[in-house]
Homo-oligomer: A and B are copies of this chain.
Amino acid sequence: MDSSKYTSRLLEKAVNEFAKLPGIGRKTALRLVLHLLRQDVSESESLAGSLLQLRKEIHHCRICHNISDQEICQVCSNPGRDRSQICVVENIRDVMALESTQQYTGVYHVLGGILSPMDGIGPSNISVGSLAERVASGGVREVILALSATMEGDATNFFIYRKLSEHSVKITTLARGVAIGNELEYTDEITLGRSLLNRTLFEESIHKP
């Protein structure tokens, strides 16, 4: 729709701002803005307010770079978490995904990206240095590499593995295999081959949740 068709410049401006968001086109942006116009003014104020407050008051945890309301995040400041186990993830959403499994009691390290020459992300753009420092400061027993099972993820895994090789720390990675609920015939051959090589004792598998 031609921008000259907007009968209000204020409306057009708001639509343009919403349309900058990923996955939001101009038609969707218009729908969202018109929705907000129909609602009480407090709706728009609380949306705008929460956004401004978030940007003003949010921190990245000084230890693990996770998003946090404080200088140190909830996980790092929790005395019940095992500080000798660090799980390395790409971003905050991965932390949330792992936390929702309720299977992990260690701490995290958020890289903020994975190595991807195509997207211009090199070693200096991800927080591997601070991970090495955490390991070097001692007390770390295991580093779990929990990056995506992609080429970029594998390359980053290997890069971190080499960076940490001078320290005597156990480095593990997430199990690769057939996803639970997936049918065998639709599982790709690389995953299937890997899951065959890394097969586990049936007795062990039935005792796991």
Decide if A191 is an interface residue (CB 8 Å cutoff): no
Decide if A18 is an interface residue (CB 8 Å cutoff): yes
**A 1-28 binary contact with B (CB < 8 Å = 1; else 0):** 1100111111101101110111110001
* Contact assessment for A32 and B43 in the assembled complex, using a CB-CB cutoff below 8 Å: no
* Contact assessment for B96 and A50 in the assembled complex, using a CB-CB cutoff below 8 Å: no
How extensive is the interface on chain A, given as a class?
Answer: 35 or more
| Interface segment, one of A51-59, A119-127, A131-139 | A51-59
Q: How distant is the Cα of A69 from the Cα of B12 in the complex, in angstroms?
A: 11
* Contact assessment for A32 and B22 in the assembled complex, using a CB-CB cutoff below 8 Å: yes
10 nearest interchain CB pairs?
A: A48-B48, A17-B47, A14-B50, A14-B54, A44-B55, A17-B50, A10-B54, A5-B100, A13-B50, A5-B99
A interface residue numbers (CB < 8 A to B): 1-2, 5-11, 13-14, 16-18, 20-24, 28, 30-37, 41, 43-55, 57-58, 66-69, 73-75, 91-93, 95-96, 99-100
